[in-house]
Chain A
Amino acid sequence: MIKASVLFSMSTVLLAVGLVACGNDEATTGSEESTTFHVAALESGYGSEMWEDVIEAYGAANEDVTVKLTTESNLEEVIRPSMQAGDYPDVVLLAMNREEALTETLVRENGLENITEVLNRNVYGEEQSVEDKLIDGFTETFATNPYADGETYLAPMFYSPTGLFYNVGLLEEKGWDVPETWDEMWELGDKAQEEGIWLFTYATASYFDTLLGSMLYASGGTDFYNSVMMYEEGVWEKTEAKQVLETIQQLADYTHPDTVANANPNDFRRNQQLILNNEALFMPNGTWVEGEMEDAPREDNFEWGMMPVPSFGEGEDRYAFSFFEQIWVPSAAENKDTAKEFITYMYSEEAASIFLDHGAVQPIEGITDELEGARQVYYGVYDDENVLPAMGTFVSTEPVPGVSMSETLYGSIDSIMNDTMTVEQWQNKIQEANDQLKQAVE
């Protein structure tokens, strides 16, 4: 019996040790008086050092605040389990339209703090308000006001113009002009094909989000784009929408035949390599592609260039979609006031300068004047009077099981390229998803 008691005690101790080992071992820092708040930021192409520098600068000016920083390239996987256990970061830098859709999930669950009043607050340590510092338009889309009620829940952070990327050297060498309309694109496509070069490729179908956005703007203007984003009834049956879908179908005839086979998470860089090898002329992408392909081999005449998406008619407006990341405060965060003040600091000259040193550009008035080299060219895409910025995303809806507009709209493009789906089938699928999501708009 003594043996049994001893064994029981030992097993209880082992079990307890095991359970304790499964517990949270995160250390907290800071004294009793100081506030400890948690910043979680996606480690993107800009690197994590940028965030460490910003947090250090913020900490130097706020000695009573201790900041705990989490930066990971798979941020969703790191913070989701803690959030499910009720431990929320106070501030999160994580964009929408990512595969794990953590930001969208919180939007759909009303899990974000309303930060409209933050826009009227003065930037930390400065006399100007956040709203006054921000470039117009950046806080007026569904990407910042997801419920279409004029209230802001996500603040715009780093932005990047997107468009069609190409090799400037190749076009110069061949004496080809940069096309401004789709008709000019097809002409150039025919000429290039005679020389064994394909007009178009794309990394993965999800890269059509910005291309299709610009095309919808070009086809029907801002009101039409907004009606698409609001899931307006019958919107995909309109001629403006059909014009966009048929243009994508026509683009299939000019797309490099290896594109769909490489358009997956493992091989998408092979499609980007087609541009560097002069095997294809244009691809939709963002300014980050330059860093992403930094070490890739390339033709001697290679020089990155970016053009806005062609217009449908001569002299009409062309668009370059501005992709931007968002910063937000979970409504379950413990230190919401400190978090809001921290957001105002994000737009201070000190923070903006640190971000800029690491290549991250914020939508702050006058910031493009400080850019140099290729970045000046990319961000100066709107300097042309016929080129306009396009921005936004779909309005938030209640989740509809099995229905995803981005999967339907962009994912189907692989089938269009393979010629296994007709434009009519695609249009019907989109319209069907549109109708289902329309009923789920919050």
Chain B
Amino acid sequence: MTDTKSRNLFILLCLAPALIMFVLFMVIPTAEIFRMSLYQWGGLSGSQHFIGLDNFRSLWNDMNFIRSVQNSILLIVVVALITIVFALFIASVLVREDTRGSTFFRIVFYIPNILSIVVIAGIFSAIYSPSTGLLNSFLDLLQLEGLQRRWLGNETIVIYSVAAALIWQATGYYMVMYLSSIASIPSSYYEAASLEGISRFKEFTSITLPLIWSTIRTTLTFYIISTVNLSFLLVTAMTGGGPNRSSEVFLSYMYNQAYGNSSYGYGMAIAVVVFIFLFSISAIVSSITKRDVLEY
């Protein structure tokens, strides 16, 4: 056997365990989800009825599913936009400004990210409590009683209350990613800008933003996937999808249908739509944010 052949065989053998695991635990289950979405099945018995695309046709007319899609998209957009602004602002200030106690602030901002989502649900339930909650009490203190709301009881507001908790949880994580990117930009660029006398805002848009663009692009995909996953956990723990399904999101509705309504096949059809949606939106975002990579 030649050296090249034995080397290729060696590489193949090294890769084999990971590949087998990947096929067993990722490829096959994903293919199974696509297969099961074509069946009417409760999830337990052996009686599966092939119904073609009927589950997808039902989805099209299911207003509760449509509402969960609207809520999920709203959360993705609101959480991504606000978190990116907060995280970039905090990261820039902590790196570029001579902030006293910056290490302390880094820790404080990162702490929410290491908390369990159930703990976050508990914290925000206490904040949003109508009569004893921090938020309404604070508004009362500022004599802004007119702004007081029942944050988890109002069907229009509840999804924004969920968004606020997600933003609070996510800011620290993305801040750390942006911190490391901004810190690696050579300080000479900023010194030159300073000599030119440009403003902090112009410095941010002309130097910082273009040089960390590839990091921002990567995090945009993270925002999409993590918002879909975490919103399911938070909604399940904090609102139960209520009041009257007004805070239902993609995955909570999928779970509700697959188990609570004994429609496992239908739940898998929702999973397929979510899968395709996430893939498509990530590809679109990646494509429209593509820029030439600036090197330094």
Contact = CB atoms under 8 A, between A and B. Distances in A.
A14 B17 contact: yes
Interface centre among A266, A267, A402 (most CB of B within 10 A): A402
Contacts of A404: 260-261
Contacts of A109: 42, 44-45, 47, 262
Interface stretch (B101-109, B148-156, B208-216, B218-226): B148-156
Interface stretch (A127-135, A224-232, A301-309, A407-415): A407-415
Contacts of A412: 244
Contacts of B125: 264, 266-267
Nearest to A267: B125
A205 interface: yes
Interface stretch (A4-12, A48-56, A144-152): A4-12
Interface string B182-218: 0000000000000000000000000000000000000
A144 to B, nearest CB: 19
A110 B46 CA distance: 11
Interface string A230-245: 0000000000000000
A18 B21 CA distance: 9
Contacts of A8: 13, 16
Given A1-B6, A261-B150, A414-B244, A401 B62 contact: yes
A84 B47 CA distance: 12
Interface in A250-308: 257-267, 270
A104 B130 CA distance: 36
Contacts of B62: 401-402
Given A11-B17, A83-B44, A257-B150, A267 B129 contact: yes
A101 B153 contact: no
B263 A401 contact: yes
Interface in B238-268: 238-240, 242-245, 257, 259-263, 266
B128 A101 contact: no
A399 interface: yes
Interface string A87-124: 00000000000011110111011110000000000000
Contacts of B14: 7, 11
A197 B129 CA distance: 19
B121 interface: yes
A418 B129 CA distance: 17
B42 A4 contact: no
Contacts, number: 159
B64 A258 contact: no
Contacts of A1: 1, 6
Nearest to B156: A420
Contacts of A421: 244
Interface string A382-400: 0000000000000000011
Interface string A8-26: 1001101100100000000
Contacts of B16: 8, 11
Contacts of B59: 401-402
Contacts of B43: 80, 84, 105
Contacts of B40: 399
B155 A415 contact: yes
Interface footprint category on A = 35 or more
A85 to B, nearest CB: 11
Given A15-B17, A266-B122, A105 B42 contact: yes
Which of B62, B129, B131 has most A Cβ within 10 Å? B131
A3 interface: yes
B243 A414 contact: yes
Nearest to B55: A401
A411 B153 CA distance: 13
B25 to A, nearest CB: 9
A324 to B, nearest CB: 21
A204 interface: yes
A71 to B, nearest CB: 21
Given A1-B6, A266-B122, A111 B155 contact: no
Interface in A400-436: 400-404, 407, 411-415, 418, 420-421
Contacts of B178: none
Given A84-B44, A260-B150, A264-B239, A399 B10 contact: no
B52 to A, nearest CB: 14
A100 B264 CA distance: 12
Interface in B14-45: 14, 16-17, 20-21, 40, 42-45
A111 B242 contact: no
Given A7-B13, A106-B44, A264 B266 contact: no
B266 A261 contact: no
Nearest to A19: B24
A110 B44 CA distance: 10
B111 interface: no
A257 B131 CA distance: 10
A257 B10 contact: no
A205 B257 contact: no
Given A266-B121, A266-B122, A401 B261 contact: yes
B65 interface: yes
Nearest to A410: B244
Given A104-B262, A401-B257, A404-B261, A266 B237 contact: yes
B47 to A, nearest CB: 6
A400 B58 CA distance: 9
B266 A402 contact: yes
Contact of B58 (A3, A401, A420): A401
Interface of B: 1, 6, 9-10, 13-14, 16-17, 20-21, 40, 42-45, 47, 55, 58-59, 61-62, 64-65, 121-122, 125, 128-131, 150-155, 236-240, 242-245, 257, 259-263, 266
Per CB-CB distance, the 4 closest pairs between chain A and chain B, nearest first, are A261-B153, A414-B243, A402-B62, A401-B266
29 contacts: A4-B9, A18-B21, A76-B259, A80-B44, A99-B259, A100-B260, A101-B259, A102-B44, A104-B262, A105-B43, A106-B45, A109-B47, A204-B242, A205-B243, A262-B153, A264-B238, A265-B236, A266-B237, A266-B239, A267-B129, A267-B152, A399-B40, A400-B261, A401-B55, A402-B61, A403-B261, A411-B242, A411-B244, A415-B244
Given A399-B42, A399-B266, 15 more contacts: A4-B13, A11-B14, A84-B44, A100-B259, A101-B259, A106-B44, A111-B45, A261-B130, A264-B125, A266-B122, A266-B125, A399-B263, A402-B263, A404-B260, A415-B244
